[in-house]
Chains A and B, each alone.
Chain A
Amino acid sequence: MTTLIRKMMTADSDSTLLVKSLQFLSQRAKAVVLPMVGIAVFLVIWSFAANSIDTSLGKFPGPKAVATQIGNLYHEHQSEREKEAAFYQRQEERNAKRIAKDPGYQPKIRAYTGKETFLDQIGTSLVTVMSGFILAAVIAIPLGIAVGLSKTLNTAINPIIQVFKPVSPLAWLPLVTMVVSAVYVSPEPMFAKSFINSMITVTLCCLWPMVINTSVGVAAINQDWVNVSRVLRLPSLVHVQKIVLPASIPAIFTGMRLSLGIAWMVLIAAEMLAQNPGLGKFVWDEFQNGSSQSLSRIMTAVIVIGFIGFLLDRAMLQLQRLVSWDKESANR
Chain B
Amino acid sequence: MFKTIFKQPKHLYRKIMGQALVASLCLSSAMLANHSVAEELGYPEKEELKFGFIKLTDMAPIAIAYEKGYFEDEGLYVTIEAQANWKVLLDGVIDGRLDGAHMLAGQPIAATIGYGTKAEIITPFSMDLNGNGITVSNEIWKQMKGNIPKRPDGKPVHPIKADALKPVVEKYAEEGKPFNMGMVFPVSTHNYELRYWLAAGGIHPGFYAPHKGDTSGKIDAEALLSVTPPPQMPATLEAGTIYGYCVGEPWNQQAVFKGIGVPVVTDYEIWKDNPEKVFGITKSFAEKYPNTTIRLTRALIRAAKWLDENDNANRPEAVKILSQSNYVGADYDVIANSMTGTFEYEKGDKRAVPDFNVFFRYNATYPYYSDAIWYLTQMRRWGQISEDKPDSWYFDVAKKVYRPDIYMKAAKSLVDEKLMAATDFSDLTGEDGFRNPQTHFIDNIVYDGSKPNEYINKFSIGLKSGDKI
**Interchain CB contact (< 8 A) of A289 among B43, B47, B231, B235:** B231
A196, closest chain B residue (CB): B5
B254, closest chain A residue (CB): A290
Assess the B325–A286 pair: CB atoms within 8 A: yes
> A residues within 8 A CB of B254?
290
Size bracket, chain B contacts: 35 or more
Assess the B258–A189 pair: CB atoms within 8 A: no
What distance in Å separates the Cβ of A113 from its nearest Cβ neighbour in chain B?
Answer: 5
Given A56-B258, A94-B72, does the pair A289, B325 have CB atoms closer than 8 Å?
A: yes
> B residues within 8 A CB of A294?
329
What distance in Å separates the Cβ of A323 from its nearest Cβ neighbour in chain B?
Answer: 29
Tell yes or no: A325 within 8 A of B by CB.
no
| A: number of interface residues (CB 8 Å) | 46
Give the CA-CA distance A286 to B328 in the complex, in Å.
10
> A residues within 8 A CB of B55?
288-289
Tell yes or no: B33 within 8 A of A by CB.
no
Assess the A110–B47 pair: CB atoms within 8 A: yes
Tell yes or no: A46 within 8 A of B by CB.
no
List CB contacts (< 8 Å) of A180-238 with chain B.
Answer: 181, 186-193, 195
Give the CA-CA distance A275 to B232 in the complex, in Å.
16
Tell yes or no: B117 within 8 A of A by CB.
no
Tell yes or no: B238 within 8 A of A by CB.
yes
Assess the A104–B329 pair: CB atoms within 8 A: no
> B residues within 8 A CB of A12?
none
List CB contacts (< 8 Å) of B302-333 with chain A.
Answer: 323-326, 328-331
- Dominant SS at the A interface? loop
Assess the B6–A285 pair: CB atoms within 8 A: no
Assess the B5–A291 pair: CB atoms within 8 A: no
Assess the B72–A124 pair: CB atoms within 8 A: no
What distance in Å separates the Cβ of B327 from its nearest Cβ neighbour in chain A?
Answer: 9
- Dominant SS at the B interface? mixed
Give the CA-CA distance A190 to B79 in the complex, in Å.
17
Tell yes or no: A74 within 8 A of B by CB.
no
> B residues within 8 A CB of A167?
none
A128, closest chain B residue (CB): B5
What distance in Å separates the Cβ of A77 from its nearest Cβ neighbour in chain B?
Answer: 11
Tell yes or no: B8 within 8 A of A by CB.
yes
> A residues within 8 A CB of B3?
111-112
> A residues within 8 A CB of B328?
289
Q: Please indicate which of the listed interface residues A90, A94, A115, A124 has the most CB atoms of chain B within 10 Å of its own CB.
A: A115
> B residues within 8 A CB of A113?
66, 77-80
Assess the A123–B43 pair: CB atoms within 8 A: no
What distance in Å separates the Cβ of B444 from its nearest Cβ neighbour in chain A?
Answer: 37
Assess the B1–A105 pair: CB atoms within 8 A: no
B323, closest chain A residue (CB): A291
**Interchain CB contact (< 8 A) of A292 among B1, B26, B331:** B331
> B residues within 8 A CB of A98?
43, 75
Query: Among the listed stretches B16-24, B126-134, B173-181, which one makes contact with chain A, having 4 or more residues with CB under 8 Å of it?
Result: B16-24
Tell yes or no: B227 within 8 A of A by CB.
no
What distance in Å separates the Cβ of B144 from its nearest Cβ neighbour in chain A?
Answer: 22
Q: Contacts A94-B75, A105-B20, A127-B1 given; 20 further ones with Cβ under 8 A?
A: A56-B234, A56-B259, A102-B43, A110-B47, A110-B48, A115-B324, A115-B326, A119-B1, A120-B4, A121-B1, A127-B2, A186-B10, A188-B7, A188-B13, A191-B6, A275-B84, A285-B326, A285-B329, A291-B329, A292-B331
A interface residue numbers (CB < 8 A to B): 56-57, 90-91, 94, 98, 102, 104-106, 108, 110-113, 115-116, 119-121, 123-124, 127-128, 181, 186-193, 195, 275, 277, 285-286, 288-294, 297
B interface residue numbers (CB < 8 A to A): 1-8, 10, 13, 15-16, 19-20, 22-23, 26-27, 43, 47-48, 55, 66, 69, 72, 75, 77-80, 82-84, 95, 97, 231-232, 234-235, 238, 254, 258-260, 323-326, 328-331, 334
17 contacts between A and B (CB under 8 A): A90-B69, A102-B23, A102-B43, A104-B19, A104-B23, A104-B26, A105-B43, A113-B78, A116-B1, A181-B95, A186-B10, A188-B8, A192-B5, A288-B232, A289-B55, A291-B325, A291-B330
